[in-house]
Amino acid sequence: MARESNIVKIVGKENFQRLRSLKCLIVGAGGIGSELLKDCILMGFGEIHIVDLDTIDLSNLNRQFLFRHRDIKQPKSTTAVKAVQHFNNSKLVPYQGNIMDTVQFPLSWFDQFDIIFNGLDNLAARRYVNKIAQFISKPLLESGTSGFDGYIQPIIPGETECFDCTKKETPKTFPVCTIRSTPSQPVHCIVWAKNFLFNQLFNEETSSADETSTDWGTENKEEIDRIRQETNELHELRQIILSKGEERIKDILTKLFVKDIEKLLRIDNLWKTRTKPTLLDQSLIDDASQAVTNETQSLSSMWDIKEQIIQFFAITKKLMQRVHNGETNIEFDKDDEDTLLFVATAANIRSHIFNIPMKTVFDIKQIAGNIIPAIATTNAIIAGLSTLTALRVLNLLPYEPTKRSTDLNMAFTAKASNLSKDRYITNPRLAPPNPSCPVGGKVCRGVIKITQKGLNEIRLSKLVKLIRQKYQYPEEISVIDASNQRLLADFDFDDLIERSLSQVNLHDGSVILFSDEEGTAEAIYRKSLELYIEVIDGSLKDEIQLPDVEVPTVAVPVQNTAHTDHVEEKQGKSVNNENVIELDFDEKSETGAVKRPAPEEAPENALKRARKDKEYVDGLIELD
């Protein structure tokens, strides 16, 4: 084939044959994933597996070109594979499932692949795949886009920065009091209409979830009491919905935008520094209840407040009819026009009375549906960069051999990187792992292979003894089930120590964290070790096999010592140990002493505080 001859010209005959024998995994079959699938086929990978949990939505069709209107509600992965069969020369294997499902996708399943491509759209799954790659030491090509922005990052476990080596922006959340009492932005009103009002009225399963909330975002007892009362009163409004009392929609509007606002205005403390809301004019409600509308206005145009109220009446009637027809649990869906219009009109009416600019339905769809602006060409560019970079990661370019992993390049669009205005792509070299990273820096990783018999018979005490012997841990170590942050054993907790591993609920896919709580007089500690349990068929010597992982020691500086002492220690004058990893210092106190950041706290103190505070992050104990 012509395309194969072109690849042969680039990588050579021998490397092309190797490429044809490789297996790759693509996680995600959306905007980036569908482009990755096409590119990996054209590149010539011998076997391509693709995983996606989702089904196809109408909103996908503008940028995910493997899908058509007839494919809506079909699984993305299997539909994508069917769409590329006419030009495919690889073995394709689709899966519909959650990549974090350890039953469907155990560690041994991941281990079959030579390289992994991430085309995901959520932080939790990205972090999970990143951690799996660290366990199995397989290269990972991470990528993402947002509008015109995009990036790719090759991750070579143990040799380069991993996904968690740099801080990631977390999803924005809002205090209950802001959403329920003092909105100041359109998004506050949209969240109120979508997550609170809509669910209270139309979703029986979530209508009472708000009652148990304790994170109000305020200590104002009067305001908290009002929020609770408002929730209880909305249960009465749900009865209006269930009774199909269309003539009482006016009562819903009056309750939400007149009576509730009157109660808010009585809490004087809320309005000392804020603009007071204005009650919705009752005459607008009365007039809208008599209006007749047969068609919806353009969703991209801005409606005035009168039209918003008229549309609220019309769409609430439609939703009432759906409840009457048996849909007792209607969920918000950005592509369900009825639910979208209800949220949009309710949010805009609330915005109007709080003196916040209203939004078009089209704009609200993007915000309420958590739609990240996506551009098809950006997805194609990033996917192309990812597959081309894979050739260097796999060392398939004879004219550009990869001698060190840090010689590889990541790539950012110019806007995303802020490094250059004169070119579209910037491509800095990869950095080594961040020693402060909870995934790639602070912890050593490996896989425990164990038989089912071993899982049932080996006691936790024996496992701890084996860990001490093989990795030279001291007597005092802690053992945590990192899958659910459960303490199994430490120096003052041994209730479970004589139970078998299965009796302490360890199983295939469990992750155990071992940490040194003792250290030496010189504050040197054995690095923490995180081990993934893989239950295998067959036999093993002693029914268990520990990984050959080097677990170095870490010098943890003591707080409030003289600055000169720290400098000497950092230069190696006070620590004489070849295997010691020196930790960086950063913050200087007013007295000149160097203070160590909280995450670098001595492990024995960290564990004691963690048990008290119950705060565990990413399998490591982190302190707030």
Catalytic residue annotation: 177
Is residue 140 part of an annotated ligand binding site?
no
Is residue 583 part of an annotated ligand binding site?
no
User: Closest Cα to residue 140, out of 123, 148, 149, 128?
Assistant: 128
Q: Is 432 left (phi over 0), alpha (psi -120 to 50) or beta?
A: beta
User: Closest Cα to residue 194, out of 310, 318, 332?
Assistant: 332
- Residue 330 is which amino acid? I
Q: How deeply is 168 buried, as exposed, middle or buried, from its count of CB atoms within 10 A (0-12, 13-18, 19+)? A: exposed
Is residue 76 part of an annotated ligand binding site?
yes
Is residue 52 part of an annotated ligand binding site?
yes
Cβ neighbours around 379 below 10 Å, total: 25
Is residue 63 part of an annotated ligand binding site?
yes
How far is residue 406's CA from residue 578's CA, in Å, rounded to a whole number?
Answer: 23
Task: Please give the structure tokens belonging to residue 434.
Answer: 């961040």
What is the 3-state secondary structure of 496-559? Answer: CCCCECCCCCCCCCCEEEEEECCCCCCCEEECEEEEEEEEECCCCHHHEECCCCCCCEEECCCC
Query: Strand runs (DSSP E) across 356-484, as ranges?
Result: 411-413, 425-426, 443-451, 477-481
Is residue 434 part of an annotated ligand binding site?
no
Is residue 126 part of an annotated ligand binding site?
yes
Is residue 62 part of an annotated ligand binding site?
yes
- Residue 25 is which amino acid? L
Task: Please give the structure tokens belonging to residue 49.
Answer: 């597996």
Is residue 33 part of an annotated ligand binding site?
yes
Cβ(141)–Cβ(118) below 8 Å: yes
Is residue 291 part of an annotated ligand binding site?
no
Is residue 91 part of an annotated ligand binding site?
no
**Host H or E run for residue 456:** helix 452-457
User: Closest Cα to residue 29, out of 54, 63, 47?
Assistant: 54
Is residue 121 part of an annotated ligand binding site?
yes
Is residue 29 part of an annotated ligand binding site?
yes
Is residue 119 part of an annotated ligand binding site?
no
Backbone angles phi, psi at 125, to 5 degrees: -70, -35
Is residue 524 part of an annotated ligand binding site?
no
Is residue 162 part of an annotated ligand binding site?
yes
**Residue at token pair 């100041």:** 184
**Residue at token pair 């092309």:** 16
Q: What is the dihedral of CA 348, 349, 350, 354, to 10 degrees?
A: 100
Is residue 189 part of an annotated ligand binding site?
no
Is residue 28 part of an annotated ligand binding site?
yes
Binding-site residues, in ranges, read 28-33, 52, 60-63, 76, 121-126, 162, 165, 437
Binding-site residues for ATP, in ranges, read 28-33, 52, 60-63, 76, 121-126
Binding-site residues for Zn(2+), in ranges, read 162, 165, 437
